[in-house]
């Protein structure tokens, strides 16, 4: 059997191995991990549950319109058909509110998973600039790190070009975005990941600054690595990027620190036993998902930098 090796830059989940404990291990059935691009993959920074599966929660990474059947999330492989999804939090909700929504079962209904779709290609996300005013401050956040540009003209293409320059300048100083490239076409800034099956999140904000009005920067995923097909709950509402959805009945046991593949190079599914940490210093920016309920459930994990509910 051939063995394949791939290399890419990843953020370490743990800051160090001092005073850590791995008290929980589970045997993971491949059918509990959705196949993305032909592989069943457990992402570093996800959480194992008492139900012998990865915690089925994720952030929405492209605007969702009420009652539609497709929702694009940053961790589609964690879900399976039949998962009942709730809205656990928003980008501005507090950890206490998120914990209460799960513990008290007050999280609003969102929908039930009917399928998990996937492609074996890179994610493509666009940011479209419109109606800028001189003095507006345009900010994009890519995987938790922001870059900005202040409009010096009222031409949308100039703002897109300025944001790309800001992205390139920051990328040159860090390996954080080593696998993400940016291109500009008129008023549209496009981000493309170099690795298949890798997911990233972009969000935006525009401050009026000294402008007489405020422009917009609309972010959307043009090509998704994976998406959930759902039967929407009644009046599940529009949802913005960063909204946290998932099940509320699964109990988190600890954090997965390394990537695990449950599909070999010949396309055969293989069950795997994995161990997780329930006491350690965790790099918050390396996690695909976090909410206040996870923080409250795992008090021996310290999340650094300080968890703010984002």
**Average pLDDT of the residues in 162-176:** 85
Please identify which residue in the block is written with the tokens 């959930």. 228
309 has pLDDT over 60: no
Nearest to 301 by CA among 10, 21, 12, 11: 21
User: 117-145: per-residue pLDDT in tens?
Assistant: 877 679 999 999 999 999 999 999 998 88
> Quick one: CA torsion of 127, 182, 310, 247, rounded to 10 degrees?
80
Decide the pairing of beta strands 280-283 and 301-304: parallel
261 has pLDDT over 60: yes
Q: How confident is the model at residue 174 (pLDDT cuts 50, 70, 90)?
A: low
d(CA 181, CA 177): 8
User: 70-113: per-residue pLDDT in tens?
Assistant: 999 999 999 999 999 999 999 999 999 999 999 999 999 999 99
User: 25-37: per-residue pLDDT in tens?
Assistant: 788 888 889 888 7
Quick check: 42 and 262 in contact, CB under 8 A?
A: yes
**Average pLDDT of the residues in 4-17:** 64
**Residue 84 is inside which H or E element, if any?**
strand 84-89
Q: Which of 33-37, 51-55, 290-294 has the highest mean pLDDT?
A: 290-294
At 153, list the tokens: 């003209």
Q: How far is CA 86 from CA 112, 178, 233, in A?
A: 9, 34, 9
What b/e string do you get for 226-258 counting C-beta neighbours within 10 Å, with b at 16 or more? bbbebebbeebeebebbbbbbbbebebbbbbbe
At 283, list the tokens: 């790099």
Please identify which residue in the block is written with the tokens 């995987």. 143
**Average pLDDT of the residues in 2-11:** 49
What is this structure's pTM? Answer: 0.89
> Quick one: CA torsion of 147, 149, 150, 151, rounded to 10 degrees?
-150
| Number of alpha helices (DSSP H) and beta strands (DSSP E) in the chain | 3, 22
Nearest to 141 by CA among 186, 191, 75: 191
User: Greatest CA separation found in the chain?
Assistant: 65
More confident residue, 226 or 218: 218
Q: How confident is the model at residue 163 (pLDDT cuts 50, 70, 90)?
A: very high
Please identify which residue in the block is written with the tokens 């994610």. 123
User: Which domains, and CATH codes, for the chain?
Assistant: 24-119+226-304 (no CATH), 124-223 (2.60.40)
């Amino acid at each position: 059997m051939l063995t394949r090796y791939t290399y890419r830059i990843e953020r370490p989940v743990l800051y160090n191995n001092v005073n850590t404990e791995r008290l929980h291990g589970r045997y993971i059935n491949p059918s509990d991990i959705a196949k993305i691009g032909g592989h069943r993959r457990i992402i570093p920074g996800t959480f194992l549950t008492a139900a012998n599966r990865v915690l089925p929660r994720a952030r929405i990474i492209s605007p969702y319109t009420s009652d539609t059947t497709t929702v694009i999330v940053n961790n589609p492989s964690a879900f399976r058909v039949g998962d009942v999804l709730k809205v656990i939090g928003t980008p501005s909700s507090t950890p206490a509110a998120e914990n209460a929504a799960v513990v008290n079962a007050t999280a609003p209904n969102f929908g039930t998973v009917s399928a998990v779709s996937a492609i074996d290609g890179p994610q493509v996300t666009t940011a479209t600039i419109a109606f800028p005013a001189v003095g507006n401050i345009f900010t994009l956040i890519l995987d938790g790190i922001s870059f900005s540009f202040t409009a010096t003209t009222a031409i949308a293409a100039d703002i897109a070009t300025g944001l790309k320059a800001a992205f390139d300048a920051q990328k040159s100083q860090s390996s954080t975005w080593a696998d993400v490239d940016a291109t500009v076409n008129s008023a549209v800034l496009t981000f493309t990941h170099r690795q298949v099956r890798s997911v990233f999140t972009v969000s935006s904000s525009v401050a009026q600054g000294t402008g007489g009005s405020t422009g917009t920067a609309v972010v959307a995923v043009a090509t998704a690595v994976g998406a959930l097909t759902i039967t929407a709950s009644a009046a599940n509402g529009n949802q913005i990027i960063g909204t946290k959805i998932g099940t509320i009945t699964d109990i988190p046991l600890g954090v997965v620190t390394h990537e695990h593949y449950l599909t070999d190079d010949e396309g055969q599914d293989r069950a795997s036993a994995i161990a997780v940490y329930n006491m350690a210093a965790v790099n918050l920016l390396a996690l695909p998902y976090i909410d206040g309920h996870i923080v409250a459930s795992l008090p021996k994990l310290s999340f650094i930098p300080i968890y703010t509910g984002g």
